[in-house]
Amino acid sequence: QVQLVQSGAEARKPGASVKVSCKVSGDSFREISWHWVRQTAAKGLEWMGGFDPTDGLITYAQKFRGRVILTEDSSTDTVSMELTSLRNEDTAAYYCMIGMGRTWGQGTLVTVSS
Amino acid sequence: DIQMTQSPSAVSASVGDRVTITCRASQGISNSVAWFQQKPGKVPQRLIYASSSLQSGVPSRFSGSGSGTEFVLTISSLQPGDSATYFCLQHNTFPLTFGGGTKVEIK
């Protein structure tokens, strides 16, 4: 049974960056698709980007391209999402998920406020 | 991008009622749709994958159908614990896109 455990809540000021991590246990994340999704009351669920094992590539949503960096660390079985140039509207719950939603992390609340 | 138009946005029904929720894709996506249930403050839970396959452990009153551009989630007999928001996800093509959600309330 795959489990995803995310890092804790973060608070940032506008213009700053935040990095959220997601530790994968119970499966090899190089063999499964993994993705980052965020949720707000205003916009609902938005896919930010993800990894496709069939081509080994990370793809980013156009909306976040240039501002989000997705990485993986096989030594710690961790995938991460870094979002830069934060704005108030980036305040959201951020989730990692695998296998097209088969398993989700517990979510990380990121609050952006001056 | 493929748009997923979900309807209705909210439904109020009685225990035992049949509830149907629809997602329409802006273009054909084969059977690449999953359905999720999310309760307030909780993580989404997948109910259905590949349009009609029931996730292990999910009650059989939940079912999914559809292919191409129209997909339906059916709750055959609504139970008190089914009060939640339900949403669809298309994973045929990047970017993955979600429906806007349907809030199901028990009368």
Q: Which residue from A44, A61, A105 is facing B95, i.e. has the nearest CB?
A: A61
**DSSP string across A31-61:** SS-EEEEEEETTTEEEEEEEEETTTTEEEE-
CA B27, B23, B92: angle at the middle one, nearest 5?
45
The proportion of chain A whose per-residue pLDDT surpasses 70, expressed as a percent, equals 99
pLDDT score of B94 more than 80: yes
Q: How far is A95 from chain B (nearest CA, A)?
A: 9
Question: Distance (Å, rounded) from C-alpha B8 to C-alpha B10?
Answer: 5
Is B96 within 8 Å of A50 when comparing Cβ atoms? yes
Radius of gyration of chain A (CA): 13
Q: pLDDT tens for residues B31-57? A: 999 999 999 999 999 999 999 999 999
Q: Of A98, A85, A87, which Cα lies nearest the Cα of A40?
A: A87
**DSSP string across B6-23:** EE-SEEEE-TT--EEEEE
A77: which 2 tokens? 């079985």
Predicted pLDDT at B91? 96
Predicted pLDDT at A103? 96
Question: Distance (Å, rounded) from C-alpha A48 to C-alpha B28?
Answer: 22
The proportion of chain B whose per-residue pLDDT surpasses 90, expressed as a percent, equals 100
pLDDT score of A50 more than 80: yes
Q: Which amino acid is at B102?
A: T
Q: pLDDT tens for residues A60-112? A: 999 999 999 999 998 999 999 999 999 999 999 999 999 899 999 999 999 99
Predicted pLDDT at A26? 84
Residues of A at the B interface, defined by Cβ within 8 angstroms: 35, 37, 44-47, 50, 52, 59, 61-62, 95, 100-102, 104-107
Question: Distance (Å, rounded) from C-alpha B90 to C-alpha A79?
Answer: 22
